[in-house]
Amino acid sequence: HTHKENIMNPIKTTLLTLSLLTASIGAQAAELPQSAVLQYSGSYGIPATMTFTRSGNQYKIVSTIKVPLYNIRFESGGSINGTTLNPSYYKDVRGGKLYAEAKFSGGNITYGKAGDLKTEKSGPAMDLFTLAWQLAANDVRLPSGLKITNGKKLYTVGSMNKIGSESYKLNGGTTPVSKYRVRRGDDTVTYSFASDIDNIPAQISYTDDGKTYNLKLTSVKINGKVVKP
């Protein structure tokens, strides 16, 4: 009897190890890519591009919106710890000039329009684009006590609710997306995630300074390869 148990133990251990491995692989299903180039169509068909790149434990997100007459460029970067993105900076550059920025360090955030910065204690804080990838990597779970900044202001995040699912046309196919609404101060930000493509951000919609940005994914390259659903 004992001899039989002894034989079983290594098998049990192996099975347990396998099931733990599978569980951890499952939990990281939406692993952050090394590089992703996402093309969007914005309001009035204005083209926008978001690139996500990481090297080692550093990440960088650059979003460019080609509005008539000049470009808007949002850039953020920082470090990745497991599946948590920790931004160190965020910049809003318009027509080649710094318009607003945020710097994150040790629970403080320094933010504001160029030349008019203030520092506050904030706890966890992110810009909208870092938050999109943070949610993508964490099965769309919101970090608790989070604040969002657009460089100019710091907002408390209220709640996040799933508001539906739909299909998106993408690279000649269709792919399912899940839609969420995040309360930001007294307005909302809508995110959609392509659940079959590592939860990449398929839509980001928000209003700033009375302008509404609605970026909807039209094509995507991950690690250099075009993704066809």
The pLDDT of residue 30 is: 62
At 196 the three-state DSSP class reads coil
Long-range contacts of 115-120 (CB under 8 A, 24+ apart): 120/154
- Evaluate whether 100 touches 109 at the Cβ level (below 8 Å): no
* pLDDT tens, N- to C-terminus, the chain (229 residues): 545 545 455 555 445 444 444 443 333 346 899 999 999 998 888 999 999 999 999 999 999 998 888 889 999 999 999 889 999 999 999 999 999 999 999 889 999 999 999 999 988 999 999 999 999 999 899 988 999 999 999 999 988 999 999 998 888 889 999 999 999 988 899 999 999 998 999 999 998 878 888 999 999 999 999 998 8
Q: What is the DSSP letter of 135?
A: H
Distance from C-alpha of 177 to C-alpha of 185, rounded to nearest angstrom = 25
What are the beta bridge partners of residue 183?
Answer: 188
- What confidence tens digit (pLDDT) does each residue in 108-157 have? 999 999 999 999 998 899 999 999 999 999 989 998 899 999 999 999 99
φ, ψ for residue 103 (rounded to 5)?
Answer: -125, 130
> Would you give the DSSP letter of residue 117?
E
- Detail the DSSP E strand segments found in the chain: 35-41, 47-55, 58-67, 70-81, 84-94, 97-105, 108-113, 116-121, 125-127, 147-149, 154-170, 173-184, 187-194, 200-208, 211-222, 225-226
